[in-house]
Amino acid sequence: MKSTLSEIQQRFDNEVERFSNLETGQISTVDAALSLELLTQAASACCPDARQVLDLGCGAGNYSLKLLELIPDFDSTLIDLSQPMLNKAKERIFKSSKGKITTIQTDFFEYGIG
């Protein structure tokens, strides 16, 4: 049986600290750290002068933080179902970037992206 949006949101609301760790946040995904590294390297190679990044389903901001290591101070638009995840992502990115940070708490299907 599929989880409802409310159940998914509650699960992520309760797992903020676990997902805030770049090494262990995605332990259920095989090679998650390697995938994160490869994706951010590819994004920075394709758009080395990026000034704006949309992080859809941002969780605790791991992708944006890893990308900030390669492309400094871009403006971030963070979208996630979980407000506590957005709060943590904003807090973490704020420490690493001078760029503007916009957070949007929504189901991205409702936001018109899906």
100 located within any domain: yes
> Which residue has 């709060």 as its token pair?
87
Nearest CA among 49, 102, 97 for reference residue 80: 102
Domain count of the chain?
A: 1
> Which residue has 């760790």 as its token pair?
21
Please give the Cα distance from 74 to 98 (Å, whole number).
8
Q: 15 pLDDT exceeds 90?
A: no
| pLDDT tier, 113 (very low <50, low <70, confident <90, very high otherwise) | low
Predicted model pTM = 0.79
Range of the domain at 68: 50-114
1 located within any domain: no
> Which residue has 């904003």 as its token pair?
90
Q: 87 pLDDT exceeds 90?
A: yes
Q: Give every CB contact of residue 34 below 8 A, 6+ residues apart in sequence.
A: none
